[in-house]
Amino acid sequence: MKSFVVTTLLFVLLIVTIPALGQDKLKCNDNIFNDPLLEKIIGNWNVSGQIHGDNITYNFNASWELNHQFVVLSFADTAKLPQYTAKVFIGYDCISERYVAHWLDNFGGRFSETLGYGINSGQNIEFRFEYPDGPFINKFMYDNKADTWQFHTTTKNNKGSWVSFGDMYLQRANNK
């Protein structure tokens, strides 16, 4: 009986442990931030989509900065005098095992005081921001076959329901 219990426990332990070994776990290194998914966003992109029902087009660039500790997303609308510009610093907190996003834009300090925290789920990273006027989710979704990204954003309205805020679609810019 005793050997049956031990054998059963070992079998259960193997069933639980083996699948975890095959999962892509972000390896933390305090000296350099390497992320295979975010590596795929590095470069120049053309962005189109809708925010609050308005059509948008942005020039967009992503690069590693600050001693390879952050991916910095830089974008501005394509108007001669851009109405919207932003820089987003994305890093990783090894202790908390989550992404950290600092979203800085021309709306100023009130909204930049809120950090976003993100979790990777395969080819997606979902960031949640607790802004002064309510929660906001920005989901970065990568399509490996097409080498494109979609940023889908939702927010809670004043009735407490999640509603779409917008979608941005990134396609690689031709570097000619």
Task: Look at residue 97 and give its three-state secondary structure.
Answer: coil
Task: Look at residue 38 and give its three-state secondary structure.
Answer: helix
Question: How far, CA to CA in Å, does 123 sit from each of 17, 39, 141, 145, 173?
Answer: 23, 12, 6, 11, 21
Break the chain into its structural domains and give their ranges: 27-172
Count the Cβ atoms, other than its own, within 10 Å of residue 81.
6
Burial of 106 (0-12, 13-18, 19+ CB in 10 A): exposed
CATH 2.60.120.890, domain 27-172, yes or no: no
Count the Cβ atoms, other than its own, within 10 Å of residue 152.
18
Beta carbons of 83 and 77 less than 8 angstroms apart: yes
Q: Which of 42, 76, 48, 37 is nearest to 166 (CA)?
A: 48
Place of tokens 């979902």: 126
Instruction: Output the tens digit of pLDDT for each of the chain's 176 residues.
Output: 555 443 433 343 333 333 343 334 556 777 788 999 999 999 999 999 999 999 999 999 999 999 999 999 999 989 888 889 999 999 999 999 999 999 999 887 776 778 999 999 999 999 999 988 889 999 999 999 999 999 999 999 989 999 999 999 999 997 54
CA distance 83 to 119: 30
Beta carbons of 59 and 84 less than 8 angstroms apart: no
CA distance 64 to 147: 19
